[in-house]
Amino acid sequence: MKTKIEQLNTVLNEADCLVSEEELNSILDKMAVNISHELSEKLPLVVCVMNGALIPGSALLQRLHFPLEIDFIHATRYGMETQGDALKWLCYPQSELENRDILVIDDIFDQGHTLKAISDWFKNHGASKVYTATIINKLHDRKVEMRPDYVGIDVDDRFLFGYGMDYKGYFRNLPGIYAVKGS
């Protein structure tokens, strides 16, 4: 019987790298240009959705060279599972939201339930405008009625991990985006 480390290493070793570190850097550069064009004069509050946006959010924020404030939220539908239902709020933002332009950064736009619920929450709490950004848009027809304002790259509908996304709680730290073999 394999140990947990051996099982995880097998998943990684057999995974397909869909987006390399170099590709991610190019994607983030383009996203930053587009975001800067629209938000650089608005003094936005940029909110990262934990834990997924920790890695891509940090990389994107370092490319935004204009005045902004940073906060975070922790809201999840998945927890440590591979699927989930209702949104669970673990941490709310601490910043003033009233009449603010807010950019919410998340790692992936899968079905969109999480990002839509978060966006709606900010609107209901006084934000003047809510923009959304995700590094990954998963291609399938099971989406909510919204699309992020800024999307890095479209990828096939597979189980993804790396660059903020996890596999059973692991591999968020990887510098590329991988798909589980056979998914």
pLDDT over 60 at 81, yes or no? no
| 3 is a domain residue | no
The CATH number assigned to the domain holding 123 equals 3.40.50.2020
Q: Residues of the chain with pLDDT > 90: what percent?
A: 86
Res 87: pLDDT: 80
Q: How far is it, in rounded angstroms, from Cα 10 to Cα 104?
A: 34
Res 83: pLDDT: 52
Summarize pLDDT for 52-79 with one digit per residue, the tens.
999 999 999 999 999 999 999 998 775 5
| 145 is a domain residue | yes
Summarize pLDDT for 89-110 with one digit per residue, the tens.
999 999 999 999 999 999 999 9
| 14 is a domain residue | no
Q: Which residue has the higher pLDDT, 48 or 80?
A: 48
Burial class (CB in 10 A: 0-12, 13-18, 19+), 12: middle
Summarize pLDDT for 111-165 with one digit per residue, the tens.
998 899 999 999 999 999 999 999 999 999 998 989 999 999 999 999 999 999 9
Torsion angle, alpha carbons of 162, 22, 61, 89, to 10:
-10
Res 9: pLDDT: 97
From 120, 64, 68, 66, select the one nearest 95 (Cα to Cα): 68
pTM for the complete prediction?
0.92
| 30 is a domain residue | yes
Q: Which residue has the tokens 């990684």?
A: 12
pLDDT band at 80 (very low <50, low <70, confident <90, very high): very low
Structural domain containing residue 78: 19-179
| 141 is a domain residue | yes
| 100 is a domain residue | yes
| 7 is a domain residue | no
Number of structural domains found in the chain: 1
Residue type, 44: P
pLDDT band at 1 (very low <50, low <70, confident <90, very high): confident
For residue 25, whether the previous peptide bond is cis, meaning omega lies within 30 degrees of 0, is: no
